[in-house]
Amino acid sequence: MAIKWHVKLRRKIAKNINQTLAKLFTKKQNNFPLPKEEIKRILIIRINYRIGNIIFQTPLINAINNIFPNAKIDFVLGAPYITSLIEGMPNINKVYSFDRKLLAKPLQAINLIKDINQNSYDLTITSNLSSSSDKIATLLVKAPYKVGFFDLNQYLPVTHSIEITNNFNKLHEALKPLELVKVFGENPNNFERELNLKIKKVKKTNFIGIFRDARGEKKYQNYFWQELVDELKKLDNSLKFIDILDPNNKTPLNNEIKTMSEKNLRELSKEISTLKAFICADTGPMHLSSAVKTPTIALFKATSPTLYGTLGKNDLSLVTKDLDIKSLAKKINKHLKTI
């Protein structure tokens, strides 16, 4: 996927700043154990504005809840519209949103940090080493213990850390944050290695959801979706589809398929949880579907399923670049029969 010039420039500047700060301020990693019994208030920091990147934090959230069952867990993220997803989780106490608008309103940003610091956190957890926003928040939020990743070329103001290795970079993006449980003497493999938004069980329907939107080169055009639905119907005429519409684009695929649109992400996740299956490209709702345990069939043509694919036991990630529509439909239909 092509990266815009201003994004490349921003990343280059951030990289240079990080390397300079790392050389000036990097501390030795602490080996002394954290006093678990003293941890009563926890803040997880992931200031990001995409659905998938926030849902990728759910394995870590659920693991931290298991490690500290009596602690209150708060979360700070980026986009306000994602807040409902996380604050609806039963093991989350409060969610803070650092809206992009605050970048132009420093006084409001300072007040938000003051508000957060009133909670007197015992521990902060920062699960991403490349985010400048996460670094700043980690620096400004007061806590005696701060956990994150360690890299000689990256600056992150933490007290305890896990060193990044070559094997780490091969992990799925949702399993990388989970590695931080090693700081507490825990094995990441002992915790759930799937996305899980903790949605209550609902009554299932026979509808298969399709979601046609995605960013940039990850998107499949409408003619692709129409041909795919037609081929699936040929293989099994009993299949019923529902077109999940992007709130910003409510044009249906056709007039024959039922449609549904919902802006509130927590409510959307509840609706998706009722579906028999969900078919989409590599996009936020893909991870949302997997996180509510709906069998998810994800189509990839521009990104790696190894890093960004679905993790559920009944999920299927397919690379489509060498598949024609008929072959793809056969693979999907075969998987649907196993559900």
Please name each of the domains of the chain with its CATH number: 14-190 (3.40.50.2000), 207-338 (3.40.50.2000)
Give residue-wise pLDDT tens across range 77-92. Answer: 999 999 999 999 999 9
- Per-residue pLDDT at 127 exceeds 90: yes
Strands 207-211 and 123-126, bridge-based pairing: unpaired
Buried b / exposed e along 225-245 (16+ C-beta atoms within 10 A): beebbebbeeeeeebebbbbb
Place 270 in a pLDDT band, splitting at 50, 70 and 90: very high
The H or E element containing residue 10 is: helix 5-25
CA atoms within 13 A on the CB side of 266: 14
Residue 211: what residue type? F
Q: What is the pLDDT of residue 281?
A: 97
pTM: 0.91
- Per-residue pLDDT at 202 exceeds 90: no
pLDDT above 70 covers what percent of the chain? 91
Q: What is the pLDDT of residue 20?
A: 66
Place 250 in a pLDDT band, splitting at 50, 70 and 90: confident
- Per-residue pLDDT at 282 exceeds 60: yes
Place 155 in a pLDDT band, splitting at 50, 70 and 90: confident
Name the residue among 103, 54, 97 with its Cα closest to residue 78: 97
Angle at CA of residue 66, ends 283 and 76, nearest 5°? 50
pLDDT above 90 covers what percent of the chain? 78
Mean pLDDT across 130-143: 92
Report the distance separating Cα 53 and Cα 151, nearest Å. 21
Report the distance separating Cα 39 and Cα 59, nearest Å. 20
CA atoms within 13 A on the CB side of 231: 17
Name the residue among 129, 161, 163 with its Cα closest to residue 146: 161
Angle at CA of residue 154, ends 305 and 158, nearest 5°? 100
Structure token digits, residue 173: 């993006």
Determine which of 101-110, 125-134, 232-241, 320-329 has the lowest per-residue pLDDT on average.
101-110
